[in-house]
Amino acid sequence: MKSGMDFLSCLHQDLSLKIFMSFEDPSDLVRISAVSRSWRHFVITHGLCKDLCLRLFPQLSKVDHVNEPTGAIKGPAEAGSSTSRECEVSEREHRVFAFLARGCLSFSLRECISEAIIASSTDNYPEESIDNTLEPRDRVGRRASYWSSKGQKNPAVPETLTYRLVADLCVITEINLRPFQAYFQFGYPIYSAKSVRFRMGYIRSSMENLVNESCQGSGDDKFVWTYTSQEFPMAQENRLQNFKLPESVLCIGGILQIELLGRVQRQDMDGLFYICVSHVQVVGRALSPAFGVQILEPSDKFVLEALSYSQPTAPEWPSPAPATTLQMRVRDLEQIVNILRGNVANVVEYGYGFDFDDEESDEEEEEEEEEGVDIE
């Protein structure tokens, strides 16, 4: 080959495409496009960065068009557009998808839950509400912290827990759940589910207020799901159980729902089956404030917006969800008000089968936690 010759001109276009599409790292495509004008033109005109993103995250097939911070082009090219306009659109898609691919693979991992939205059922609200699952510990002071479903005679009745994530675009890698062990009941039963399944998507625009005002219900008619996972078996063990997704998933719309399938533990008091969860943790990469989405209803397509080409500052991780502290304080205040009003029935429930000899050990645990000792 002569010096300075572009080898792309010596290869058939299909072979060149096959070579370039073998790259799985977006930084490789960026480097390739910097080699020469002809290579850059080849990468852009064939949409190789967009193709890479689609291979990494099939959910992006719903992208209608992309926008940049300048807003120079607000929509896709219209029929009869000039060649220069088509080139402009291709250039824009190249920049947006190249940065998106980079962000999906390199932005910092973090806790991705922002707030708890709704549970399909709650046995005693607010004492056993879904908000409790944001607290990593199963005891706060001397009080149990967990969500509990309503009891069912049929162990096959499922439950769902729905959460809002920290961004409308998040790359989720794993979800961790800890079933609750009722240390205040005889035999210390663990109220796990048989299996779990995960769904991701967004809230229908017409249902936003209804979802925010609800505290329980299935909510299936309020959401559009763009991803549904396989079923994962759950162990009847009191530990944070890891459910690593086979491949990272791009959550479009910032909503995650956990389906709890099958009940394994019957409560002795009433003979009903319950599911109880102590803690939920979602690990992934938040793509905001670099990216945003606009859902185009009723088509279920969306506009992908590059809001900034600056890499976000890495947050501390693991860190509590932003709303967790406030929600826990509100829950504590609600319980104090109930006690002052004389509604002590719910407080007594926590004492069922409780060994008061454990009070001293609880105080010792709190002192050890303050000294930095990790208590299981």
DSSP 94-138: HHHHHHHHHHHHHSPPEE-EEEEEEES--SSTTTT-GGGGGSSSS
Beta bridge partners of 276: 148
Residues 163 and 92 in one domain: no
Residues 177 and 268 in one domain: yes
Residues 99 and 147 in one domain: no
Q: Residue 74 domain-assigned?
A: yes
Average pLDDT, the chain: 80
Residues 76 and 189 in one domain: no
Q: Residue 371 domain-assigned?
A: no
Residues 118 and 252 in one domain: yes
Residues 133 and 150 in one domain: yes
Reduced to 3 states (helix: H, G, I; strand: E, B; else coil), residue 284 is strand
Type of residue numbered 239: R
Give the per-residue pLDDT at 369: 46
Q: What is the domain extent for residue 165?
A: 110-286+323-356
Q: How many CA atoms lie within 13 A of 22 on its CB side?
A: 5
Cα(232)–Cα(235) distance, integer angstroms? 10
Give the per-residue pLDDT at 327: 52
Residue with tokens 């104090």: 336
Residue with tokens 């102590």: 278
Least confident of 17-31, 46-60, 302-316: 17-31
332, pLDDT greater than 60:
no
**Using an 8 Å Cβ cutoff, are 312 and 202 in contact?**
no
Token pair, residue 238, equals 């009191």
Choose the final residue of a domain: 88, 106, 124: 106
**Using an 8 Å Cβ cutoff, are 99 and 306 in contact?**
yes
Cα(361)–Cα(192) distance, integer angstroms? 26
Render 29-65 in DSSP notation, one character per residue.
HHHHHTT-HHHHHHHHHTTHHHHHHHHH-GGGGGEEE
Element housing 305 (H / E): strand 301-306
- Determine the average pLDDT of the residues in 188-207: 92
CATH value at residue 239: 2.60.120.260
Q: Residue 156 domain-assigned?
A: yes
Q: Residue 366 domain-assigned?
A: no
Q: Residue 41 domain-assigned?
A: yes
Cα(279)–Cα(241) distance, integer angstroms? 10
Please, which pLDDT band fits residue 39 given cuts at 50, 70 and 90? confident
Residues 201 and 281 in one domain: yes
**Using an 8 Å Cβ cutoff, are 170 and 285 in contact?**
yes
Residues 244 and 154 in one domain: yes
Residues 74 and 169 in one domain: no
Choose the final residue of a domain: 77, 106, 135: 106
Angle at 78 between CA 17 and CA 293, to 5 degrees: 75
Q: Would you give the DSSP letter of residue 80? A: T
**Using an 8 Å Cβ cutoff, are 127 and 346 in contact?**
yes
Q: Residue 97 domain-assigned?
A: yes
Give the per-residue pLDDT at 70: 66
**Using an 8 Å Cβ cutoff, are 306 and 93 in contact?**
no
Choose the final residue of a domain: 64, 82, 106: 106
Q: Could you count the other beta carbons within 10 Å of the beta carbon of residue 130?
A: 26
Give alpha helix (H) positions in the chain. 13-20, 26-33, 37-45, 48-56, 83-106, 208-213, 324-340, 345-349, 358-370
97, pLDDT greater than 70:
yes
Residues 129 and 95 in one domain: no
Q: Residue 144 domain-assigned?
A: yes
Give the per-residue pLDDT at 124: 95
Total length of the chain: 376
User: How many domains does one find in the chain?
Assistant: 2
**Entry pTM:** 0.77
Residue with tokens 């959460």: 163
Handedness of CA 222, 225, 230, 235 (dihedral sign): negative
Q: Greater confidence, 45 or 72? A: 45
Residue with tokens 């019957």: 266
Give the per-residue pLDDT at 184: 92
Residues 159 and 258 in one domain: yes
Residues 187 and 90 in one domain: no
353, pLDDT greater than 50:
no
pLDDT, tens digit (0-9, with 9 covering 90-100), for 210-236: 555 555 665 668 899 999 999 999 999
Q: Residue 318 domain-assigned?
A: no
Token pair, residue 247, equals 């491949």
Token pair, residue 48, equals 């190789």
